[in-house]
Structures are given as C-alpha cells and as structure tokens.
Amino acid sequence: MTQLPTSTDKKLGLVIDLDTCVGCHACVISCKGWNTENYGAPLSDMDAYGENPSGTFLNRVHSFEVQPDNGCAQTIHFPKSCLHCEDAPCVTVCPTGASYKRSEDGIVLVNEDACIGCGLCAWACPYGARELDKAAGVMKKCTLCIDRIYNENLPEVDRIPSCVRTCPAGARHFGDLGDPNSDVSKLVAERGGMDLMPEQGTKPVNKYLPPRPKDTLQDVDADTTTMTPIATEATGFLGWLDKALEKL
C-alpha cells in the first residue's frame, strides 16, 4: 500500500465558482484534448462514432435544477474532477503503489507503468473521480495538467491547467491553497469556499464557491393611472407613410 506524505510543501488545486459556471463544457473538451486526444478531436476513446461510445474523461460537468424555499428555481452547473485530497483514500488503498501523492505540491497522480487496473482506487474515491481506460487498461484521473504548469517552454500565461486556461466564464481558478496569501486562498475566504462532502474526511484541496442567491419573484400592483399611454396615431415618418399608403 502507498503511504501518504505527512505534509506537503504546497497544496496546488482548483477553486471552482458555481455562481459563474455556465455549463458550457469547454473545460471538459479542453481537458480531453490536452490529456487523451488521439485523432485531432476530443472524442471518446473507443467506438467514438458507434452506438456505444466509451472512454475516460478526467473532468465532467453535472447540471442540477435547484428550487430554493423562497426564490426562483435555478440551474447549477457542477464541474467535478479529482480533488487531490490531503487524506486521499485512493492512494492508501492502491496495492501496487501506482497511486501516490506528491510531497512537493500535493498533486495526486497515477504511475501508469505500475497500475494493474484493479479499480480499487475508483472504489475508494467517494467522488467518482477515477475512471478506467479500457484501451490502456489503467486508471486515469485529473493531473492538474502537471505537464503544463511546470513546462518552462510554454508562455507563463499558459502554465495553468488546460481547463482553467479555457474557461470562458472565468469560473475556474488555480493556485496554492496552502498559502493563505495566494489569490485562490483569498477568494475562498471572501466567498465562503467549501469542501465537497466534508463528512467523508478526505480533506479535499479543491474548493467550491457557492452560488449567490438569485432574484426573487414579487407581486407587482400595476397602477394604470401612471402608465405611459400608447400612441394611437403614428407621427413623423411613419405617419406620413401611413397616409401615403392609404392613398394607394
């Protein structure tokens, strides 16, 4: 079994704003394209154009309709990927040590050379964040685009996860959540960022910013005496046009 590090130098992770996410799936497409694209398009890995396409997606977006007690119904788009938990059960359950957590930045990864595809990590993960790549026979998950964030050949603006770089709504943020002075930590503090399923005790690094309350419907009494009257006769150019047409 793999041992978790007692502490990590950083806690790199994502902050996802549920108030801003529009459910466009751009993060899903860019993630698929960057990590597992094979044929020039972010398609399913197997039988992409057939009746039963299947494949691994390291990031997915789920949508829910919510009806508050007092307010308008609203749709919440909920992106979900590996949360890079501090107490990651997917790591400690791995029989070969393929699943591990890095001490330098806290990212949870899979050594595919050591993975036997047993699926124990997927069984242990309470968030359903791991998927079996049937073609490769190994488990796959979000890596926080580790090949991007440390790639000095890329412009600095691109050294962030692909999903963050692509999000058109600015709903995804990346940084060190172990640093209270980082932008992501300040954002979590200001907006009341929360853990996903904290009762599981996994201490996820990724945080979610809750959606803000939407406007409520209120009854409006229309006072007809103050309403602007609607013109009954066209004036100006339209008036001239009406008169001209009447003569035809």
Instruction: Give residue-wise pLDDT tens across range 68-82.
Output: 777 778 899 999 999
pLDDT digits (tens, 9 = 90+) for 185-239: 999 999 999 999 999 999 999 999 998 876 655 555 555 555 555 455 656 655 6
The dihedral sign for the CA sequence 88, 90, 93, 96: negative
Domains and CATH numbers, the chain: 12-209 (3.30.70.20)
Beta bridge partners of 75: 65
83 pLDDT more than 70: yes
What single-letter DSSP state applies at residue 196? S
Summarize the confidence of residues 6-35 as an average pLDDT.
94
Rg (CA), the chain: 26
Whether 47 and 54 have beta carbons less than 8 Å apart is answered as yes
Q: Specify the pLDDT at position 68.
A: 75
User: Distance between CA 126 and CA 116 in Å, rounded?
Assistant: 21
Q: Specify the pLDDT at position 72.
A: 78
Q: For 92, left (φ over 0), alpha (ψ -120 to 50), or beta?
A: alpha
Summarize the confidence of residues 84-92 as an average pLDDT.
97
Tokens representing 64?
Answer: 């829910």
pLDDT bucket at 53, cuts 50 / 70 / 90? confident
**pTM > 0.85:** no
> Shortest CA distance to 127 belongs to which of 22, 45, 201?
201
> Shortest CA distance to 88 belongs to which of 132, 137, 122?
122
Q: Specify the pLDDT at position 52.
A: 82
pLDDT digits (tens, 9 = 90+) for 26-47: 999 999 889 876 544 556 677 7
pLDDT digits (tens, 9 = 90+) for 140-170: 999 999 999 999 999 999 999 999 999 999 9
What single-letter DSSP state applies at residue 104? T
pLDDT bucket at 241, cuts 50 / 70 / 90? low
